[in-house]
Structure 1
Amino acid sequence: MIPIHILEQLVSFTEEEMNLLQGKETIDKSIFASELSHVIDYHYLLKENQMFSVRKHTRFCQYPSHRHNYIELMYVYSGRMTHHINEQDITIEKGQLLLLNQNIEHSINYCDENDIIFNFIIRPEYLRFLSTMIEDENVVSKFIFDALYSYDNDGEFLVFKVQNNQKVTSYIESIIISLYEPQLYNDIELKLLVGILLTELMNHPENIESYTGDSYEKILSSTI
Structure 2
Amino acid sequence: MDSLLFEKLMEETDEERAILAGDQAINKEIYTNLTSDFVIQSEKFLKDDLIMIRKHPRYIDFPKHSHDYIEMNYVYHGVFQQKIAGEPLTLKKGDILILNQYIEHELTACKKEDIVINFIIHPGFFDYILANLSTGFIQSQMLQFLMNSMFQYSQKGEFLYYPVANSPHIQHLMQQLLNEMMEPTLLSKSKLKFLMGLLIIELMEQQNIQNNSSVHSEHHEFLSKVFEYIEVHYQDANLQTLAAKLHQSDYWVSKQIKAITKQNFKDLVQEKRLLVAKNLLLYTDLSIQAIAEEVGYENISYFYRLFKRKYGDTPKVYKEQLTE
Normalised TM-score (structure 2) = 0.58
Moved over 6 A (4+): none
- 1:107-122 alignment, distance < 5 Å: 107-122=106-121
Could you say what secondary structure the match of 2:66 adopts?
A: strand
Query: Among residues 192, 211, 216, which one is paired with 1:220 in the alignment?
Result: 211
Q: Does 2:50 match 1:51?
A: yes
Could you say what secondary structure the match of 2:120 adopts?
A: strand
Question: Cα offset for 1:154?
Answer: 2.0
1:17 alignment partner in structure 2: 16
Highest Rg: 1 or 2?
A: 2
**Count of aligned pairs:** 205
1:33 alignment partner in structure 2: 32
Query: Among residues 192, 195, 200, which one is paired with 1:193 in the alignment?
Result: 195
Q: Does 2:168 match 1:172?
A: no
- 1:59-70 alignment, distance < 5 Å: 59-70=58-69
**Unpaired stretches in structure 2, ≥5 consecutive residues:** 135-139, 218-324
Query: Among residues 138, 159, 162, which one is paired with 2:161 in the alignment?
Result: 159
RMSD of Structure 2 on Structure 1 (CA): 2.2
1:216 alignment partner in structure 2: none
Contact in 2 for aligned 1:131/1:141 (Cα 8 Å): no
| Equivalent residue letter for 2:194 | L
Whole-angstrom distance in 2 between the partners of 1:3 and 1:52:
26
Question: Cα offset for 1:114?
Answer: 1.3
Contact in 2 for aligned 1:16/1:58 (Cα 8 Å): yes
2:141 alignment partner in structure 1: 135
Contact in 2 for aligned 1:42/1:123 (Cα 8 Å): yes
Question: Cα offset for 1:71?
Answer: 1.0
Summarize deviations over 1:57-103 as a string: whole Å, max 9, x none. Answer: 11111100011111111100111112212221011111000001111
Provide closer, same or farther for how the CA distance between residues 21 and 186 of structure 1 changes in structure 2, counting only shifts above 3 A. closer
Question: Cα offset for 1:35?
Answer: 5.5
1:215 alignment partner in structure 2: none
Normalised TM-score (structure 1) = 0.82
Question: Cα offset for 1:130?
Answer: 1.9
Whole-angstrom distance in 2 between the partners of 1:2 and 1:121:
23
Summarize deviations over 1:81-128 as a string: whole Å, max 9, x none. Answer: 122122210111110000011111111112111111000111111111
Question: Cα offset for 1:206?
Answer: 7.0
